[in-house]
Amino acid sequence: MIVIQHAVRNMTLPDYSAQSNSDFVRLTGSLDSHSETEILQSLDKLQQAPKILQEGILLTGGAVAILLQAAAHGMARTASKTGTDGQVKTLAEQLYQSIHLTAVYLYGLTFGTHQQRKQILNRIYAFQAQQQQQQRRISHAARNGISHLSPYPQDPRLRLWIAATLYATGTEVYQRIVHELSFKEAELAFNEFSVLFNLILNLPKGLWPTNRAAFWAYWDEYVEKLDVDTRARPVVRDLERIHNVPSWVRLSMPFMKNITPEMLPPHVREQYGFQSSPMSRFMYRASMGISRAIYAVLPRVIRSIPKRRVMKEVKDMLREPQSVAQP
C-alpha cells in the first residue's frame, strides 16, 4: 500500500499554509482568485517541484494512480463513453487521457518559459470559462462523472482525488528510488504541488488540504471508501491494450507490473484481482532496490528523457489553436 515515509506522515506537522521556507507564494483556488502576474511570479520561484518532476522514473507510478482513480465512487459512471476526440473511450483510456493532459500542463508550468507559462494559463482560464457554460447544459449524470465535454470530472471532489493520486504516487516513487525528502523539502514540495494542481484542475478554494497532515488524513479516509465495481474492474486489462503510449512507457512496463499491485491498498488490490504473495512482495522489493541502484548511476540525459518528450508536446500543443474540449 502507498505509505510515504511512515515516520514523517505520523508526526504532528506544523501548518505551513501561512508561511514559507522561501519566497515562494502559496496560491490556492481558481485562476480568477489571483492576478496572472502573481501566479507567473510564483511559478518562476518553484524550487522542489522541478527537482522531482525532472526525474522520469516517477511517472512509472501512473498505473497505480489510474487504478486508484477508477476505484473512486462516481468515476466509472461514464465508462465506454465518447472521449474528447469524439471516439468511444473505455474508462482506462479516459483516465489515461486525463493523466496525460495533466502531465503536459504540469511540466509546461514547471519547466516552460515565461511566455509558455502565460499561454498555458490563458488556455486553462479559457477552458474553465467553457466548463462553466457547459455545466449549465449537461445532464446531472454527466455533471458527476467524466464526460465528452472535458477530460476531467465535473465533480471537484473527483478532481481533487485525481490530484491526490498523482501527488502521492509520484512522490512515493521518487522517494523510493531517487531521493528521500527531508522534512523541509517535503513541506516545500507539498506547497508547490498544491499550487500546480489547484491551477490545472481548477480546484475550488479551500478544497486542497492545507498541509501534509491534513492531506494524509484526507487520503486515509478516502482510501477506505474506494470500491472497485464492475465498471472499474476492466481498467487493469484495458490499460494493457492502450497503444498510443510513449516508447519509454512501454520499456517501463515490466517494472510497472512488478510494483503496481503492491502499491495498492489491500482491499483495492484484491478487488482488481491481484494477489499479494511472498513472491509478489519479493518482486516489489527487488524491483525497487535494483532500480534505485541502477537509476543512481544513469546520466541525467537519460533520466530526463520523459521530461524532454513532454516538453516537446507542450511546444507542439501551444502552436495549435485551442479546441473547446481540451484545456
The Cα-based distances of 85 to 40, 136, 155, 171, 199 in angstroms read: 30, 22, 21, 31, 23
Spell out a b/e string for 196-214, using b for 16 or more CB atoms within 10 Å of the CB, else e.
bbbbbbbbeeebbbebbbe
Give the phi and the psi of residue 204 in degrees, each rounded to 5. Answer: -60, 150
Give me the pLDDT at residue 305, please. Answer: 94
Give me the pLDDT at residue 103, please. Answer: 95
Share of the chain above pLDDT 70, in %: 78
Give me the pLDDT at residue 192, please. Answer: 97
C-alpha cell at 238: 484495458
Contact present, 53 and 210 (Cβ < 8 Å): no
| Residues 201-217 pLDDT 10s | 989 989 999 999 999 99
Residues 152, 133: Cα–Cα separation, whole Å: 15
Contact present, 281 and 262 (Cβ < 8 Å): yes
* DSSP codes, 67-128: HHHHTSTTGGGGTTEE-TTSSEE-HHHHHHHHHHHHHHHHHHHHHS-HHHHHHHHHHHHHHH
Give the phi and the psi of residue 194 in degrees, each rounded to 5. Answer: -60, -45
Residues 259, 264: Cα–Cα separation, whole Å: 9
The pTM score is 0.85
Give me the pLDDT at residue 149, please. Answer: 47
Q: For the chain, what's the residue count? A: 327
Give me the pLDDT at residue 18, please. Answer: 36
C-alpha cell at 42: 510564483
| Residues 133-143 pLDDT 10s | 666 665 554 44
Ranges of residues in the chain with a pLDDT under 50 are: 3-8, 10-30, 33, 78-80, 141-143, 146-149, 324-325
Give me the pLDDT at residue 157, please. Answer: 94
